[in-house]
Structure formats: C-alpha cells, structure tokens
Structure 1
C-alpha cells in the first residue's frame, strides 16, 4: 500500500469511527500495525491535520480547512445531494438555506468530472405534502440544545389542555408528518417526547444543564432498546 493511500485510509477511519479511536482500532481498520499508525499520525499532524489525543487514550480528528477535500464516489455524491434535498424540502427556512450552502461548497470543491455528476444527479426529492415546520419553535429548541439550556414550554395535549413545564431539549426527530422533540422533563423527572406543532410557546432560559445532554441522549437511546 502506498503512503498516500495509507494516510487517506487513516483519515477516513478517524472521520468515520466513534471517537476517541485507539491506535489498535485504527490499525485494524487500516490493516497496518499500531506502530505504523503512530508514525502516520505524526505525518498527518505535520501536514496540518488537527488530531487530538495520544497513545493509550485514543485520537480525535478535528477537521481542518488545510486538509485536502475528500474524493467521493458517484453513489456517495448521489447520497449527499439526496440528503440535502430532503433537508430543503422538509426543514425550516434556516435549514433549507444551510443545505443550499453546503451543496454549493461541496460541488465547488469537487474535481471537474465529479462536479458534472453532481450537477446532473439522478436521484431527486419532492414532497407533495411537506411537513409543517414551526420555524420559530424549532429555532429556539435547536439553539437551546446546542447551548444546553433549559426551555420553558407551553404545550397543548391531545385534548387541547395547555400545560407549562421546563424541559432540557436533547434532540429533534423528523418523522413522516411531524417533528418530535426528545427532552428531559423537569416536572416529571423523566424522558418525554413533544410534538413541535403542539408547542404554543418556547422560551429559552439561563438555566444550564451542561454537560449532560450527550449522556442523557445516550441513556434515552439505550432505553428504546
């Protein structure tokens, strides 16, 4: 295996495996020895890659603009553009604009042949009945989840009753017709799911639950199993 191929495979493994990735796991994924992984980590860092971690702990790749753009297969380009097309059809205005920006940036950095393939992608997305996306509510929840701040909700249940509660927003799921927030409910002291189209009011507070979001989300996913 050539040095350039080896380094490319190591970058791909760092990007795709759950971080932090041990040298032993990287060696298994790239089919080289752990000692070679250590040498290649040094080479990538010297070339401008921001790789955090050390032997015995594991490594995390911090993406860096200095790294060369990845090459995509034709099917990977189709998958990427199909996903971005779904966001444009189903997200709020901010997400739709972000999807347009991502597509433009990716296509601009592709080699000429792949850029042509992207411009004439075979797979398309069109929804006859787009989801109803409450943009103001989604923006508040998205920002609060990023910042790990509690949100005060006014929520309408199936019978039309309004309840008020404080929640820790963990994630928003895009279902077939509605958007669903997964949250920790401070009132019930348990996980709850809230339909965004039933949220009458959402106000971010200064109450922080950092750094519990990732751990709580893992616990919620584990409870589904």
Structure 2
C-alpha cells in the first residue's frame, strides 16, 4: 500500500472512530453566526455546508458555549480537507485550535485515530515532492504543535532516505533559511513551539550530509545551536 493510500485508509478510520459523536444543541456568537448556522452545526455532520466548516475550524473558543465538544465533533469534516489542501485555513491555526480543544484528552480511540492520521500524513508528505497542496513546513508545524514534539517527525524524516524526502528537505531549508528565520523559529499560530533548538541541531547533525545549502555553515547560524550541539 502506498503512503497516499495509507493516508486515505487513516482518514476513513478517523471517520469511523468519530461516527458515534452525536449532534447536540450548539450555542455560540450570534453576532458572527446566524441562528440558521447554529442550527446547521447542531444537525447531521454530513449536512453542514462546505462554506461553514472553514469558518468554524478557524474560530476561537470564546465564540462557542462548548468549544471542545463542537471541535471534536467536526474533526472528520476539518481534518480530511486539511490534509488534502482543500480547507483553505492556515494549518498552524488549525494546530492551535486542536491544542485549545485538548484533543489529546479525548477518548483514547478518538485521539489515537487522529494521531494515526498525523503519522500517515507525514509519511505521505515525505513521499511526495514539493509543490503539493500543503507545504512540508506547514505539515511539520501542524504535527509538531498538535503533538507537542518535533523530534519523532524529524526522526522519521532522517530515516526516510528517498529522493522525495531529500527534495522536501531542500525545500524546508530554503524556506527557514530565508533572512535567517531558523535562528528564532516558532511554530503554531500563537508561536507555541520554539523549534530552533531541535530543528537547527537536527539540520546540522542528523541530515547535514543531505543538505547542500551553504547558509547552514554561517557562523551566525551555528551560534544558535543549543549547549553541547556545536
């Protein structure tokens, strides 16, 4: 089974895991949402309009009476278009919203199904050359912020020695090296995760032989390595 097929399988499993989440009365900001929108959100999941999903996916917790429950119920409608580049909402904002919804504290079956999607999505991203619907940087940012750790994703990347993974690596380096952003790089819409210490150290050690960008040798960049990494 290809990585893209594994991703589709994980998304289908996500749908099944979240299927028992039942509709419930949705209360929210009536300045931003009409009563018919709230009624729609309280109805069958598959009948919620394509236009309403992105708006709610991006909206902050203070707009809803029960934000965690609403976001949990909408996960299948948010995550599938997200990973296929059709949601049209900043990926880092979705990561921050999932953290605010405390997704890791949901029922273990739900959390595991979502975690399986992140793993499959990451593998699929590394199996695809740059230019896809979601950049490798945005994908890495989302899986890092939602799980609270960048290291597992970097370890998978280091172990994936393929032309596609190397092309994605070059794309990430070119992105984060622009104007020296790597020296103070945060991930998440609210900059929840300071990525520089781990990411820079990884670039200069684990995968240095796969990166040809000479900017990584700049003394200013190397000065931002953490203790014991130089």
TM-score range, shorter chain: under 0.3
User: Which structure shows the bigger proportion of residues in strand conformation?
Assistant: 1
User: TM-score w.r.t. structure 1 length?
Assistant: 0.24
Greater radius of gyration (CA): 1
Per chain length, whose mean CA-contact separation is higher, i.e. which structure has more relative contact order (CA < 8 Å, sep 6+)?
2
User: Which structure shows the bigger proportion of residues in helix conformation?
Assistant: 2
